[in-house]
Structures are given as C-alpha cells and as structure tokens.
Amino acid sequence: MNSIQSLNADRFIGRRIGTATILKELARGGMAVVFIAYQRTLKRHIAVKVLPKSNLSDQKVEMFQTEAEAAAILSHPNIIQIYEVGETEDFLFFTMQLVQGMTLSEILKKAKKQILSSKRILPLNQTVKTIIQVLEALSYAHQQEIIHLDIKPENILVEMHTNRPLISDFGIARVMRGKQYDSQTTGGSPLYMAPEQIIGATVDGRTDIYAAGIMLFQMLVPELPIPRFTSFESLLEHKLLDKKGIFLQEPSTINPILNKDIDKIIRRATAYEPDQRYATCKDFIKDLQWYKRRVL
C-alpha cells in the first residue's frame, strides 16, 4: 500500500471533480490530500479532500466516510461546511469550505518563536473567545449526537481576517444517532485523549470537553507543564495511572496575568472522571463567560 506522503499530487492538478477543477495542493495528512479547487458554477474557490484508492484500507475508508457523514449533518458557523461527497475511478473525495487562514497549531507555533516572552502566548481575550466559539460548535454537534473525539489545535482552522475558529477533521467522530459505542473508540491524539477514550470505554460530549480543556491550557501558557515522555505509549499510560492529571503546575503559576479562577475551570474541564467534568459544553461556556466578565 502506498504512503500518502509519497503520493505524486501533480497528477491531480487540472482534474475536474463535479463542477470544480483542482488547482493546487493545500495540505496532506495521514491518509488524504487536500487541494484548492475552483468551482465554476458558483465562481468560488473551495477545498477538495481526496483519498486515493491506492492508499485504501477498510479503516481509512470508514474514517473518510465518517468524516464526510458527520460534517455533512452539521451546519454551524464554527464548523467546516461540506458541499459534496463522491467517488471516481481513482479516489474518494468530498468538497468543502475553503478557509483563508492558519490552523491554531500554526498560530501557537508562530507565537512561541517571538523574542519577547510576553508575546509567546495569545492575548487572553482572544483565547477565551476562541475556546467559547469552539465549545459552541461542539455543543451544537453534541445536540446532533455527534462526538468529535479529536479536538486539538491542528483541527481548528482560524480565518485570517475575522479570527473565527472552525472545527475540521471529523475522521474519528462518532455519529451516535441510535448507536452505542462501548469499547469501540479508537484513534485520537494522545495529549488530548480523555482516559475513557484511551481504554475504549463509552464516550460522550464530556470526552470533547476534556480535549477542549487541554487546548485552553495550551493557549494560556508558553509551554504545557507536563513531564517529558519518551513515547506516546508512556504518555497514555501516565494519563491512565495518575488520576490527579499530567500537569505539573497550574496555569496561574506560569502566566502572571491569570488568576486562580482559570485554574479551577481547567481543572474541572480536564478531570480524570467524566462525572467530575462539566456536564455539557454550555456549562463550560458559562464559567468562561463569567471569567471573561470578571477579569477581562
């Protein structure tokens, strides 16, 4: 099976997919390539995500179809919009909204390169606003019985001119409508995975809340205060065994502009037991809005 990293994307340039023509490569991940395309009928640029059949496995096909299915169900200003899902002789694809901007991960990496330490974190007001918008989108998804399960900075696209965050990559999402997912949850990114997700137990909206809490902490400090792990496996093992959490310090002890109220919010969002976390994204939002009114 060919690796997606070794795929020659040039052969896709100029190909027509539905009413769109592929123009150039935008990005590639673990299983697919994203292109910029021009949609002639609506005279706009869109994104096309392509999974070559030469790179197919049953798991990858399922993830690709899940992403398209989950995202197509959702219509929210902070979730990437899916336009069309299809298949050609060579690949599976879906077309989607093109976001002019960067991932939150890229923004954080850029900030960390600043010479002044005070510039190595995002403005507090912007951080809280971004997380609230992400939580509003997750709240909506949860109401539609869809759990994302891979919330992290790499999967948050931020528009260049508006700073609007949009959630992408529903590849391992769970569409819970009429389904039960006990001990079937696989995948995820180790740092952001909740304990129940690691062991394959039942997941729900609180699993996404855990990941959002980790991401919030990451946005508030120059570097997350966690031990140095030699492997993903050791990180996952530590997260399962230490019910106090992986953080060595509170946010307010690292970033002097914060106070201890944000420590309590993050501590609750990232609690080991789901029952100790916020029950819903709206509860999480409520505390962040209170913090925003009190501090900002």
Catalytically active residues, by annotation? 150
Number of residues assigned to the chain: 296
Under DSSP, the state recorded for 43 is T
Closest CA to 49 of 158, 63, 100, 160: 63
Pairing between β-strand 33-39 and β-strand 82-87 as defined by DSSP bridges:
unpaired
**Alpha helices, H only, the chain:** 58-73, 104-112, 124-143, 195-198, 205-220, 232-241, 251-254, 260-269, 281-295
**Which amino acid, 22?**
I
Closest CA to 186 of 28, 295, 66: 66
Other beta carbons less than 10 A from residue 99's beta carbon: 19
Closest CA to 88 of 46, 60, 59, 54: 54
For residue 156, list its beta bridge partners: 167
Residue 161 tokens read as: 């001119």
Distances from the Cα of 105 to the Cα of 33, 173, 186, angstroms: 19, 20, 23
Under DSSP, the state recorded for 229 is P
Could you tell me the strand order of the sheet in which 33-39 lies? 16-17, 20-28, 33-39, 44-52, 91-96, 82-87
Task: Report helix, strand or coil for 106.
Answer: helix
